[in-house]
């Protein structure tokens, strides 16, 4: 097992989040599942996977207090959240160093073997990597779940909220992510940013997953790669009330 550092994103949304009222909590990372908060479950999974240092990126007082009460053998630190996930990742990476695994506090089903398999699958020369699950694996593991899929020539994939920033150069990809975030309400500007050629290739189904990720990496000036997982539940997080209902059913039947 390879020791690693990890960053857990636990920021807050500026808009009203229906999930908080549904779960009756001040922050979704404090939702309790089988006697543990989601935050504690994620930290436990990372520690079991080999994390020796874990940063919790948050500015929410209740999350800071809860993090201080979690027993873990890893060194735990609080890193103030920024105005967006990408900026939080950039600031967290600069504070913790590289290489760095990044995940989210709502990754309720996270398991140590998923993390270990992901790290083992990252090429030695990659600057940044993302874990994705094929649609078939996700539907087999959670047939009644609703996930978002990206369609490529070789199939449809769902993101798994697990990223590996292998080198400092990965921050260039994070900077591109930040530019995309800033244009999220203006799709035409995202298209202009990424380039019409890439957009057309994606929309016409000419790109495989690996080709698309490699092109995005070149756009950012880094070597980026996608790692596929056989663990369909790795694509399940808790973003909506329906997601919480799903993970409650899944953990109850486990």
Burial (CB count within 10 angstroms: exposed 0-12, middle 13-18, buried 19+), residue 50:
middle
176: how many CB neighbours lie within 10 A of its CB? 20
Query: What are the phi and psi torsion angles at 233 (to 5°)?
Result: -70, -10
> What's the DSSP call for residue 225?
E
- Give residues with Cβ within 8 angstroms of 131, minimum separation 6: 114, 118, 159, 160, 162, 163, 226, 227, 228, 229, 234
> Locate tokens 């857990």: which residue?
8
Q: Tell me how far apart the alpha carbons of residues 48 and 52 are, in angstroms, rounded to a whole number.
A: 10
Predicted model pTM: 0.94
pLDDT tens digits, one per residue of 129-184 = 999 999 999 999 999 888 989 889 999 999 999 999 999 999 999 999 888 777 76
* 61-107 tens-digit pLDDT: 999 999 999 999 999 999 999 999 999 999 999 999 999 999 999 99
pLDDT of 178: 84
Buried (b) or exposed (e) across 13-39, using 16+ Cβ within 10 A? eeeeeebbeebebebbbbbebeeebbb
Percent of the chain, pLDDT > 90? 78
Supply the CATH classification number for the domain 4-253: 3.90.550.10
- Which helix H or strand E contains 79, and what residues bound it? strand 75-79
Residue with tokens 């990754």: 107
Contact in structure between 73 and 47 (CB atoms under 8 Å): yes
φ/ψ of 167, rounded to 5, equals -130, 165
**What DSSP assignment string belongs to 152-215?**
ETTEEEEEEEEEEE-STTHHHHHHHHHHHHHTTT-HHHHHHHH-HHHHHHHHTT---HHHHHHH
């Amino acid at each position: 097992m390879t020791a690693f550092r990890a960053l857990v994103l636990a920021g807050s949304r500026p808009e009203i989040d229906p999930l908080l009222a549904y779960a009756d909590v001040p922050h979704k990372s404090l939702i309790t599942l089988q006697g543990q908060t989601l935050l504690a479950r994620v930290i436990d999974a990372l520690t079991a996977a080999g994390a020796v240092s874990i940063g919790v990126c948050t500015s929410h007082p209740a999350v800071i207090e809860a993090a201080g009460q979690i027993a873990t053998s890893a060194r735990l630190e609080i890193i103030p959240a920024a105005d967006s996930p990408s900026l939080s990742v950039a600031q967290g990476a600069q504070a913790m160093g590289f290489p760095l695994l990044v995940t989210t506090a709502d990754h309720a089903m996270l398991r140590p073997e998923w993390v270990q398999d992901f790290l083992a699958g990252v090429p030695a020369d990659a600057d940044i990597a993302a874990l994705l699950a094929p649609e078939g694996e996700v539907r087999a593991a959670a047939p009644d779940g609703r996930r978002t899929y990206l369609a490529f020539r070789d199939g449809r994939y769902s993101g798994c909220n697990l990223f590996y920033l292998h080198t400092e150069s990965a921050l260039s990809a994070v900077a591109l992510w930040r530019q995309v975030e800033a244009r999220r309400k203006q799709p035409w500007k995202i298209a202009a940013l990424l380039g019409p050629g890439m957009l057309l290739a994606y929309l016409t189904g000419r790109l495989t997953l690996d080709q698309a990720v490699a092109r995005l990496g070149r756009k950012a000036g880094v070597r980026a790669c996608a790692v596929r997982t056989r663990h369909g539940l790795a694509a399940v997080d808790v973003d909506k009330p329906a997601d919480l209902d799903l993970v409650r059913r899944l953990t109850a039947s486990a």
